[in-house]
Structure 1
């Protein structure tokens, strides 16, 4: 699997867990090693390609389906795809990995605890959820189903970014 010329690493976890930070740092590492890479960030998708979607279960599944198709196209063109999306439901992640191809996709669970994510709250999402103005917040009003068997688990409350990048490189080189 890891010798495939292009892969998708799907970073999943609660909002504020560090998915985007890790994917940006890892993309730099891949580029330094001569790899072509593209980050597919959930927030960026929702600002453009997926701006017509809400946060209900059906819309979240469609958001992930679109991201998976982009990742598949990138992989077929020799480009690593780093997908950074909350991706709260296991069945939707499974669907996305089927689209991409299980031989090309590795799941990275950013398992940062909810209380740490709430402390960070870079966009004020948790504060709005606790006040009742954001009623579909993952981890508060809406569930997050942790991956059953991720390829790698990262807890940014315990692990330095450089260690995460080293572990991601080791994962690709297995």
Structure 2
């Protein structure tokens, strides 16, 4: 019994055992494409988002319809911003911007105690800087000046925007007119 002949029949000769070069190329291209897709997913952050997402909170702004431009004074409320539902919002993580018919935008946040002395505008609330704003909390946007402050012309239009700073997302945006 010649085992070399049996071996050649079972395993095949050296010429018969070779893999086709085309199959090798196809396998290498497939591996390269899969590897490129995995690397692209990490580089382009297409995978799970590890950053903080904006809270899903519902706010409402009600302008003060009795605002009187001739008699406006310190502490007069321009309107009330209230949290009507949804997720609680960390006060240290938001900025409230007011823009419109004013010289420059107003930015109110926890670092300036929600007041802009240069613009004579502030938010009054019972919420502390380290608290979360939860359902039922409200802010009064008040004039912090003995005069009319920034809101000095009738029928001016303004925009109030709440920005979640960690995610750089707008939580609330509204326009109002005095």
For the superposition of Structure 1 and Structure 2, which TM-score range results when normalised by the shorter chain? under 0.3
- TM-score norm. by structure 2 comes to 0.23
Mark the structure with the bigger radius of gyration. Answer: 2
- TM-score norm. by structure 1 comes to 0.24
Greater fraction of residues in strand: 2
Greater fraction of residues in helix: 1
